Amino acid sequence: MSVIPIPEEEINLDENKLFLSPKRIARMAIFIAMSAVGAMIKVPSPTGTVALDAAFAFFSAVTFGWKEGAIVAFLGHLLTALTTGFPLSLPMHLFIALQMAAYVSAFDILTRKLHLWISAFVAVLLNGPFSSFLVMPVGGIGLTAALIVPLTIGSIINVFIAVTAYLIIKKSKIA
């Protein structure tokens, strides 16, 4: 049995070229853990799943990139839903987690292409009123109407925390 040599350039494990580098995994784990803490801080809502978990995802996206933020957002929402027993069902919360990943990604992309405050406004609209309408197939117009205000308030708080932290970190040149 012969061993085929692998060229050295194919073995390159340069941390800067790997998305899931040890440093990035550790950083995401910290932000996911902080999302779990944020998941315990609730905004009163009919489902009980509006919480401060997304602040860490928005911050992670705008500071370290949309991919990291999307992963933190997805898992952060699932942790929030887990704390209330998945009141809208596991499939619906997986759908909402995908939405959160998309909103956080849009926040980062719009910040880079346009402006931080424009992306903050769009993120609040997506995560608040727009998300409310996406639960209509499950909960009807009643749940949609009941979620608009709490989701929008929660979104404003989450985005405000993320933007404030980002501006402080950016000014200090830590990240």
Query: Selecting from 1.10.1760.20, 2.30.40.10, 2.160.10.10, 1.20.910.10, what CATH number does the domain 21-172 have?
Result: 1.10.1760.20
Question: Is the per-residue pLDDT at 113 higher than 50?
Answer: yes
**What's the CA gap between 95 and 89, in Å, rounded?**
10
Residue range 87-97: mean pLDDT, rounded: 93
Q: Where are the domains of the chain?
A: 21-172
Residue range 57-78: mean pLDDT, rounded: 97
pTM exceeds 0.85, yes or no: yes
Residue range 26-54: mean pLDDT, rounded: 93
Question: Is the per-residue pLDDT at 86 higher than 90?
Answer: yes
Place of tokens 């790997």: 18
Confidence tier at 4 by pLDDT (50, 70, 90): low
DSSP string, the chain: -PPPPPPGGGS---TTT-TT-HHHHHHHHHHHHHHHHHHTSBPP-SSS--BTTHHHHHHHHHHH-HHHHHHHHHHHHHHHHHHTT-TT-HHHHHHHHHHHHHHHHHHHHHHHHT-HHHHHHHHHHIIIIIHHHHTHHHHHHHHHHHHHHHHHHHHHHHHHHHHHHHHHHHHHT--
